[in-house]
Amino acid sequence: MSRLRFASVLMVLLTGLVSASTGAQSLNTTAPVRILVGAPAGGSTDTMARAVAQAMGQQLGRTVVVENRPGAGGNLAAEAVARAAPDGQTLLMSFTSHAINASLYPHLPFDPVKDFTPLTMVSTSPSVLVAHPSLPANNVAELIALAKSKPGQLNFAIGALGSSLHLAGEAFKLKADVYIVNIPYRGTAPAVQDVLAGQVELMFAAVGNVQQHLRAGKLKALGVTSSHRLAALPDVPAIADSLPGFESSAWFGLFGPAKLPPELLRTWSDAARAAVQSPEVRRRIEAEGATAVGNSPQEFARFVVADMARWREVVKFSGAKPE
């Protein structure tokens, strides 16, 4: 009888342990899901993340929070997600630098492709080439002619070295075969201010950052970096009209860690795509001068690989080094 009692007690204990483990896992499903952002609060990446997080949380009945971890061109947040458990509790809202950094940084602490599970591209955001009103060029063709006649005498304001806006300028110089000097700044705001003041003639900028200055006539737009005109700037031609083949857009996308189980991949991708297509999120995205996407994980994965290859040539041409 004593052996039977011991066996019974042992079975009860084991059953309790299994129940506790199961309970802990079920409790984990109610824990907040974190979306890490490798950029400061208030920027475009942060805005995209917060818009999507709220909508995803409402759909799934989960708390989804945004955690900002700026630094190293987005690499700090990316590394944290690359090392996170593939349990759906930690996601990454990344941006164009995810592809650029593959060439810009000689030694990354993660693999931009193998260490992540793409969920969906949230949006794309073309930029606009702006100039101080005093610049004697009113379109891209005139700018190219002016730059060729004055090599090294015109300047681009650069808000962040290695950013998509910096490399849009490098791609422009590469395709137009012109020499325009880069003037780096610690952030977009001081760069815009110096173009407004006429200290620097030119800048590639996000539409949302300069739209009010364009309306006020304090800056003039020479061209947009998309392949076609933008609804936000219908009177501004595409740079590609004068420089065939030129196109440059920032993108924002949601990733999970590598080896995310298929059911979690499907759950989070479907929720993110539905969020992107919801009227409220689309309005917030369009207010940033961006376009909502919401493609499939497979489409997003193919895009990331192709974008890494596309930026490789531009990074090499630019000679850019990590800050």
Q: What is the 3-state secondary structure (H, E, C) of the chain?
A: CHHHHHHHHHHHHHHHHHHHHHHHHHHHCCCCEEEEECCCCCCHHHHHHHHHHHHHHHHHCCCEEEEECCCHHHHHHHHHHHCCCCCCCEEEEEECHHHHHHHHCCCCCCCCCCCEEEEEEEEEEEEEEEECCCCCCCCHHHHHHHHHHCCCCCEEEECCCCCHHHHHHHHHHHHHCCCCEEEECCCHHHHHHHHHCCCCCEEEEEHHHHHHHHHCCCCEEEEECCCCCECCECCCCEHHHCCCCCCCEEEEEEEEECCCCHHHHHHHHHHHHHHHHCHHHHHHHHHCCCEECCCCHHHHHHHHHHHHHHHHHHHHHHCCCCC
CB 139 within 8 A of CB 223: yes
Q: Identify which of 72, 66, 129 has the alpha carbon closest to the alpha carbon of residue 100.
A: 72
Domains by residue range for the chain, with CATH: 30-124+250-318 (3.40.190.150), 126-241 (3.40.190.10)
Q: What is the pLDDT, as a whole number, of residue 159?
A: 85
**pLDDT mean for each 10 residues of the chain (323 residues):** 45 38 43 92 86 93 94 92 96 94 92 97 94 97 98 94 89 96 89 96 91 96 92 92 92 97 95 95 86 96 94 86 71
In one-letter notation, the amino acid at residue 35 is I
Residue 39's pLDDT is 85
Other CB atoms within a 10 A radius of the CB of residue 59 amount to 16
φ and ψ of 251, to 5 deg: -135, 160
The pTM score is 0.79
